[in-house]
Amino acid sequence: MAEDSRKRYKIICPYCGKVQYACKSIFHEIGIYDAGNGGCLDCKKPMRLVYNPETDTMQADKWELIQNEKM
């Protein structure tokens, strides 16, 4: 099996503060920059992963923020 050579972005869990790394999702790749998601490897809470193409960085937000934006 080939080694995964995709770029990894440093993220910080917005719940517990654990530093971890994530790759861009398919949504990020096609230009929907706020549609990534994942779970913290430590506290297991869901996170929204937002990619910023201008700075080539990724940020983890609390999943609940999505619910607040839709209201």
Calpha distance 15→36 (Å, rounded): 17
Within the chain, what is the greatest distance between any pair of CA atoms? Answer: 45
Report, as an integer, the average pLDDT of 22-45: 94
Among 27, 31, 24, which Cα is nearest to 59's? 24
**Is the pLDDT higher at 40 or at 4?**
40
Element (H, E) at 27: helix 26-29
- The reply to whether the predicted model has a pTM over 0.85 is no
The amino acid at residue 10 is K
Query: What confidence category does residue 60 fall into, taking pLDDT thresholds of 50, 70 and 90?
Result: very high
The predicted pLDDT at position 63 comes to 85
Report, as an integer, the average pLDDT of 39-55: 96
